[in-house]
Amino acid sequence: MPGLTIGDTVPNLELDSTHGKIRIHDYVGDGYTIIFSHPADFTPVCTTEMAAMAGYAKEFEKRGVKLLGISCDDVESHREWTKDIEAYGGGKHKVTYPILADPGRDAIRQLNMVDPDEKDAKGVSLPSRALHVVGPDKAVKLSFLYPATTGRNMEEVLRAVDSLLTAAKHGGKVATPANWKPGECAVIAPGVSDEEARKMFPQGFETADLPSKKGYLRFTKRVT
Amino acid sequence: MPGLTIGDTVPNLELDSTHGKIRIHDYVGDGYTIIFSHPADFTPVCTTEMAAMAGYAKEFEKRGVKLLGISCDDVESHREWTKDIEAYGGGKHKVTYPILADPGRDAIRQLNMVDPDEKDAKGVSLPSRALHVVGPDKAVKLSFLYPATTGRNMEEVLRAVDSLLTAAKHGGKVATPANWKPGECAVIAPGVSDEEARKMFPQGFETADLPSKKGYLRFTKRVT
């Protein structure tokens, strides 16, 4: 199936939502937005995910990152279901982010959020648990595509967003290693010379001593 | 860009690797395989990722899940680089999984593992940090697509694989909620009646009391 992937511009669709009409590019604006689909309202995993996302909303807001849900149920269903989501979370977290309604399935197709294995009672395709982080240039920076049976991990979404923001802040000249968490050392990107790296990081950096002696694995101090 | 996505069959390509010629479908066999690309050998984030994956290899092996790396460098480069990866990991973990060589870029294109923003010195596209979990039916069950600047989180890969295996073991009749970890309660899939659920889980299940009173959010006891 052809589908939106990393580097592609998200289509500038206009859809109804729990916050009124939303045009995707306007919503993304000059920042980062996490667009995430869920198979259906009033289903178990989706409820736990939407509640988890509501719990993380403040963390994303602090970083200037917007949230945007989407499924094929209508706005009225989203509104009713929101009561369940908030009750499940013990009333601690309101669902403050909008949820788009795509009953026609055109948006989820264009956004590569269709799960070919999941159909509703009428045999019509349902969304997968897809999640795209879209940048200020409206292009997909990162995508997670999970099946219906796997609830996502919001801590990993936050970690990946922190990595994206760290790299963007340094013009792509730093990157974050495997299993990195905010506050841990980053690495210096391959295109940066040692001289430039010394200017960028006056506190210095540490080059791993590896058999190849190529000196490419350089850890900077804490990057925030 | 059109690209392989969830539900699609992975192409049955034959490629050179550090373990000799590998045909992808034969390698996957009757189990699950994690196919993961990295932008280039002898680069910082990739080295930390391959070392992290080597550290997790035993966990995947315990679960019968195979690993398969891929990038556009040749086999000789992969072999030399492996010395760096193992040294970086302090010699604790050998790279026991094969790494495919795709100098022609055909495989990474067919596998939707190209990062349009990353090019080598000759302006030729490099792989993204893509990761597909492929099932016994050779179809993609789950995909993570990260940019070059974000090292992946192997703990999340393991968590997602544990979720897939849990759902598969129960014929898709259970699923795992947001932020789930092995040993925590799973949820019962929407298509399963309460009666069937009672037969499946003689120890019972707990239905969340939500405003809609629809009774769809049912947690079973520990599922392993």
Q: Tens digit of pLDDT for each residue in A160-216? A: 999 999 999 999 999 999 999 998 999 999 989 999 999 998 888 999 999 999 999
Interface test with A, best of B32, B125, B153 (most A CBs within 10 A): B153
Quick check: A185 and B214 in contact, CB under 8 A? Answer: no
Check if B116 contacts A (Cβ < 8 Å): yes
Residues 6+ apart with CB under 8 A from A201: A188, A220, A221
Mapping DSSP to helix (H, G, I), strand (E, B) and coil, where does residue A80 land? Answer: helix
Gap from A94 CA to chain B (nearest CA, Å): 15
Which residues in chain A have their CB less than 8 angstroms from residue B52's CB? 178-179
| Distance (Å, whole) CA B171 – CA B169 | 6
* pLDDT at residue A222 in the model: 65
- Name the DSSP letter for residue B5: -
Quick check: A63 and A33 in contact, CB under 8 A? Answer: no
**Matching CATH number, A14-152, of 3.90.650.10, 2.40.390.10, 3.40.30.10, 3.40.50.300:** 3.40.30.10
Which residues in chain A have their CB less than 8 angstroms from residue B116's CB? 6-7
What sign for the dihedral angle of Cα A87, A92, A98, A100?
A: negative
Does the pLDDT value for residue A221 go beyond 80? no
pLDDT in tens, B165-183: 999 999 999 999 999 999 8
**Matching CATH number, B170-222, of 3.40.50.1220, 3.40.50.10490, 3.30.1020.10, 3.30.420.40:** 3.30.1020.10
Element (H, E) at A26: helix A24-28
* pLDDT at residue A224 in the model: 54
Contact state of B151 with A116 under an 8 Å Cβ cutoff: no
* pLDDT at residue A186 in the model: 94
> B15, B34, B35, B46: which one is catalytic?
B46
Residue matched to tokens 């509104």: A79
- CA angle A198-A203-A208, nearest 5°? 70
What is each CA distance from A148 to A129, A181, A220, B31, B175, in whole angstroms?
Answer: 6, 27, 39, 20, 8
Quick check: A165 and A157 in contact, CB under 8 A? Answer: no
Chain CA centroid to CA A112, Å: 14
Contact state of A217 with B143 under an 8 Å Cβ cutoff: no
Contact state of B180 with A144 under an 8 Å Cβ cutoff: no
Gap from B23 CA to chain A (nearest CA, Å): 22
Among B44, B128, B177, beta carbon nearest to A151: B177
Would you tell me how many other CB atoms lie within 10 Å of the CB of residue A160?
26
B185 classed as catalytic? no
| Distance (Å, whole) CA A20 – CA A35 | 16
Contact state of A144 with B148 under an 8 Å Cβ cutoff: no
| Distance (Å, whole) CA B105 – CA B110 | 9
Mapping DSSP to helix (H, G, I), strand (E, B) and coil, where does residue B20 land? Answer: strand
Does the pLDDT value for residue A1 go beyond 70? no
Structure tokens at A53: 């996302």
> A22, A35, A46, A51: which one is catalytic?
A46
Strand pairing of A65-71 and A99-101? parallel
Interface test with A, best of B45, B170, B173 (most A CBs within 10 A): B45
Residues 6+ apart with CB under 8 A from B19: B98
User: Is there a common fold for B14-152 and B170-222?
Assistant: no
| Distance (Å, whole) CA B89 – CA B51 | 6
Contact state of B48 with A212 under an 8 Å Cβ cutoff: no
Gap from B20 CA to chain A (nearest CA, Å): 23
**Per-residue model confidence as pLDDT tens for chain B (224 residues):** 447 888 999 999 999 999 999 999 999 999 999 999 999 999 999 999 999 999 999 999 999 999 999 999 999 999 999 999 999 988 899 999 999 999 999 999 999 999 888 888 788 889 999 999 999 999 999 999 999 999 999 999 999 999 999 999 999 999 999 999 998 999 999 989 999 999 998 888 999 999 999 999 999 976 65
Domain ranges of chain A: 14-152, 170-222
Gap from A71 CA to chain B (nearest CA, Å): 16
| Distance (Å, whole) CA A55 – CA A94 | 8
Gap from B27 CA to chain A (nearest CA, Å): 23
pLDDT in tens, B132-156: 999 999 999 999 999 999 999 999 9
Task: Tell me which chain B residue has its CA closest to the CA of residue A171.
Answer: B149
Check if B176 contacts A (Cβ < 8 Å): yes
Q: Which of residues 19-38 of B touch A (CB under 8 A)?
A: none
Rounded average pLDDT over A101-123: 89
Does the pLDDT value for residue A223 go beyond 80? no
Element (H, E) at B34: strand B32-37
Task: Provide the H-helix boundaries in B23-178.
Answer: 24-28, 44-62, 75-88, 106-110, 154-169
Q: Which of residues 32-71 of A touch B (CB under 8 A)?
A: 40, 42-45, 47-49, 51-53
Residue B83: CA atoms inside 13 Å, Cβ hemisphere, count? 10
Check if A212 contacts B (Cβ < 8 Å): yes
Q: Which of residues 137-166 of B touch A (CB under 8 A)?
A: 141-156, 159-160, 163-164
Structure tokens at A21: 């009409």
Q: What is the mean pLDDT of chain A?
A: 94
* Phi-psi domain of B180 (left: phi exceeds 0; alpha: psi -120 through 50; beta: other): beta
Burial class (CB in 10 A: 0-12, 13-18, 19+), B80: middle
DSSP string, A154-209: HHHHHHHHHHHHHHHHTTTSEEB-TT--TTSEEEE-TTS-HHHHHHH-TT-EEE--
Among A8, A47, A216, beta carbon nearest to B217: A47
